[in-house]
């Protein structure tokens, strides 16, 4: 197994600042906008961006939630892997809100499809956008594209993109893993 560094901590930090600025450009003071991190791995990115918007860019009313999509996935009973549920934590109304889904890697688009269904359980949003740190081009199974992307990556199917966060793996880095 070999792995190559795609992004190091410094680059990730620059990208996060750019993504935060792009969000501010479109959502101003975020009065009608909510950020939703997709469980399990989008949570770290969402937390990081929310923190950055609050402290660095002094935006007061950032609403942040986490959405678990396990029960909405289309591969239940179809894989070897047992699907593990995570906590959903959305303590606000999404009716008529502008939602930004946040996930670390966009690959087939199936998780986003599940998230689009899952969020309907919380009301009818005004619009939904998608932000991902890594966009794996040419690997989509569904017509889904991000509105905000950190870095576009051309990886072949056998390769894996692994995103590490300080909060769980002790470093900020993105690797391309060849197994």
Binding residues (CB under 8 A) for another protein: these are: 68, 70-73, 76-78, 82-88, 117-118, 120-123
> To the nearest whole angstrom, how small is the minimum distance from the Cβ of residue 54 to another protein?
26
> To the nearest whole angstrom, how small is the minimum distance from the Cβ of residue 144 to another protein?
18
Q: Residues 74, 76, 81, 83: what is their CA dihedral angle, to the nearest 10 degrees?
A: 90
28 versus 121: smaller Cβ distance to another protein: 121
Furthest-apart CA atoms within the chain: distance in Å: 47
> To the nearest whole angstrom, how small is the minimum distance from the Cβ of residue 83 to another protein?
7
Cα distance between residue 114 and residue 165, in whole Å? 24
**β partners of residue 38:** 67
Q: Answer whether 153's CB lies under 8 Å from 176's CB.
A: yes
Helix axes 9-27, 42-55, angle to 10 degrees: 70
> To the nearest whole angstrom, how small is the minimum distance from the Cβ of residue 40 to another protein?
11
3-state secondary structure of 121: helix
What is the side-by-side order of every strand in the sheet holding 127-136? 63-67, 33-38, 98-106, 127-136, 148-153
What number of residues does the chain have? 179
**β partners of residue 101:** 36, 130
95 versus 169: smaller Cβ distance to another protein: 95
60 versus 77: smaller Cβ distance to another protein: 77
39 versus 132: smaller Cβ distance to another protein: 39
66 versus 149: smaller Cβ distance to another protein: 66
> To the nearest whole angstrom, how small is the minimum distance from the Cβ of residue 100 to another protein?
20
């Amino acid at each position: 197994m070999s792995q190559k560094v795609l992004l190091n901590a410094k680059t990730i930090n620059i990208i996060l600042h750019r993504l935060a600025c792009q969000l501010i450009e479109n959502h101003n003071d975020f009065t009608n906008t909510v950020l939703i991190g997709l469980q399990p791995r989008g949570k770290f990115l969402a937390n990081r961006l929310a923190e950055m918007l609050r402290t660095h860019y002094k935006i007061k009313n950032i609403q942040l939630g986490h959405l678990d999509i396990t029960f909405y996935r289309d591969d239940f009973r179809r894989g070897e892997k047992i699907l593990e549920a995570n906590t959903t934590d959305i303590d606000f109304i999404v009716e008529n809100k502008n939602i930004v889904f946040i996930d670390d890697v966009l690959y087939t688009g199936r998780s986003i499809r599940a998230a689009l269904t899952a969020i309907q359980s919380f009301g009818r949003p005004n619009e939904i956008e998608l932000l991902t740190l890594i966009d794996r081009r040419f690997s989509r199974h569904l017509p889904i594209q991000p509105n905000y992307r950190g870095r576009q990556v051309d990886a072949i199917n056998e390769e894996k993109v692994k995103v590490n966060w300080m909060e769980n793996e002790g470093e900020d880095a993105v690797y391309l893993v060849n197994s």
